Structure 1
Amino acid sequence: MVRDLPTTALPAPPLDAAKRRWAERNMSLVDHGCLRLVYSNRHPLDGQMWRSAQPGRRALAWAKRNGIRTILNLRGERLNCGTYLTERDACQELGLRLVNFPIRSRGMPEKETAHAMASVFEHLEYPVLMHCKSGADRAGLMATLYLHLHKGEPMEVAMRQLSLRFGHVRYARTGMLDFFLERYWRDTGGDRTQFLRWVDEVYDPAVFTREFHASGFASFLVDRILHRE
């Protein structure tokens, strides 16, 4: 089983001109990067953390100009994807630390991943920009955990990060993220000191997956029309 855990991107040779052109075409046309040029879904959580859709070179240059030190990539390392190769290349050019942490938007996290979701914020160099593909689902999950576990915000405040305002559709299969967080909230009363105990003693990914039910229409909209990852 692939372990969904955070790792810092290793140094790589700069992309040559041909590879760079291929990677940027792949990002724009295959990974829908042309749409993100119109809307980046970029929002601050506080003075130390931003959330956004997948950044391209211009967005990463913006991050550098605005004092960002770390990019937290919630899509993970994808060496056959032009978007990832562009991101890694740009981060190296700009002197940004790139941390890859693959989070699933349509599946319950494994217990080990849930532990890493809680602890990753202790090991980043701030300020940080974290992103997934659209900036709606995985970014919303991790924004919720950042505000609740790392900053101490109550769940009723932190959960606002998973909402239609950012493009998140809770009735699709991406609603698994809401289900996971709301069960933790219900079972512990939102006591952040109990999150890891709850993960270890109560949370069961297989059981939670069976108990979750998504709307077929909402899933069709998110998966087939919006092409969410």
Structure 2
Amino acid sequence: MFDQLKTRFAALERRMTERHGTDLSVPGARRAALWHFHLMDHGLLRILWTNLVEIAPGVWRSNQPSPARLRRYRDMGIRTVISLRGSERPHSHWLLEEEACAALGLRLEAVTLKARRLVPRETLLMLLDLFDRAERPMVMHCKSGSDRAGLAAALYLIHAGGTPVAEARRMLSWRFLHNRRSKAGVLDLVLDRYEADTARSPMTLRDWISTRYDPDAIKSDFKAGRS
């Protein structure tokens, strides 16, 4: 029964995605994208729940903002928006965000992180580079603002602020609805491994990612720990 409902839901989402396509200027596309955004992407749940927190002066984290919330961010002084959901798949959230940021004069950047999987070192280094050059004030977000935003926020604090891992780890907590005991707990293990490695041989986060970060090994250790 559950598998049948899951299959039907996936089929419905595909149909709604096809209706809004990749061009919001097509008649009916924007309406379809808004329906998809609020229903399939859970935008309705985020109308009042924003998961918005300033983690450092001029640096914020949140869940996926709507066009209306992006306007409020602009009015707050935000200049750069970093989507941790990537831009490879032009779903409703990206199309609406891209359109709104262009209209509001906000710089939109994208890096693809995963909530339950580890990404290659090149992606994490790209994120650090983005932190270095992004105009502030800025906000980084994923879908819920819990897992990917938590890891990115922790990496930012360590990389840009020299924050101890023990303190930066608070970015991945129940306060933001992150559950270490779920599959998203593999993200916590990244910080654990960095902390353990640098306790023996201090190095910057960038150097550690470049030379020691091994997503396959961390994934294997995480699976072994869960079993």
Q: Does TM-score exceed 0.5, indicating one fold?
A: yes
Describe how 1:123-202 pairs up with structure 2 within 5 A. Answer: 123-189=133-199, 193-202=203-212
Whose helix fraction is larger, Structure 1's or Structure 2's?
Answer: 2
Match of 2:5 in 1: none
* Cα displacement (A) at 1:19: 1.9
One of 69, 79, 96 as aligned partner of 1:86: 96
Post-superposition CA distance 1:13-50 (Å, at most 9, x none): 87456222111111001111000012111111122111
Question: Considering only CA atoms, is the larger Rg found in Structure 1 or Structure 2?
Answer: 2
Amino acid at match of 1:178: D
CA distance in 2, matches of 1:146, 1:192: 18
CA distance in 2, matches of 1:182, 1:119: 22
**RMSD in angstroms over aligned alpha carbons?**
2.2
Note if 1:113 corresponds to 2:113. Answer: no
CA distance in 2, matches of 1:120, 1:13: 27
Distance 1:15 1:190, change over 3 A: farther
Match of 1:3 in 2: none
Amino acid at match of 2:218: F
Query: Alignment partner of 1:71: what SS?
Result: strand
Amino acid at match of 1:105: A
Structure 2, unpaired ranges of 5+: 1-21
One of 37, 48, 53 as aligned partner of 2:47: 37
Query: Alignment partner of 1:107: what SS?
Result: coil
Larger RCO (CA within 8 A; separation ≥ 6): 1
CA distance in 2, matches of 1:192, 1:68: 34
Match of 2:59 in 1: 49
* Cα displacement (A) at 1:187: 0.9
Distance 1:173 1:84, change over 3 A: same
Distance 1:190 1:159, change over 3 A: farther
Distance 1:14 1:93, change over 3 A: farther
CA distance in 1, matches of 2:178, 2:45: 17
Aligned residues: 205
Match of 1:26 in 2: 36
* Cα displacement (A) at 1:79: 4.5
* Cα displacement (A) at 1:191: 7.8
Note if 1:74 corresponds to 2:121. Answer: no
Post-superposition CA distance 1:79-119 (Å, at most 9, x none): 44111111111111101010011111111221212222332
CA distance in 1, matches of 2:24, 2:87: 16
Match of 1:219 in 2: none
TM-score after normalising by structure 2: 0.83
Distance 1:118 1:80, change over 3 A: closer
Amino acid at match of 2:193: R
Distance 1:183 1:94, change over 3 A: same
CA distance in 1, matches of 2:170, 2:201: 17
TM-score after normalising by structure 1: 0.83
One of 201, 207, 213 as aligned partner of 1:203: 213
User: Does structure 1 retain, via aligned residues, the 8 Å contact 2:158–2:205?
Assistant: no
Structure 1, unpaired ranges of 5+: 1-11, 217-229
CA distance in 2, matches of 1:47, 1:32: 29
* Cα displacement (A) at 1:78: 4.6
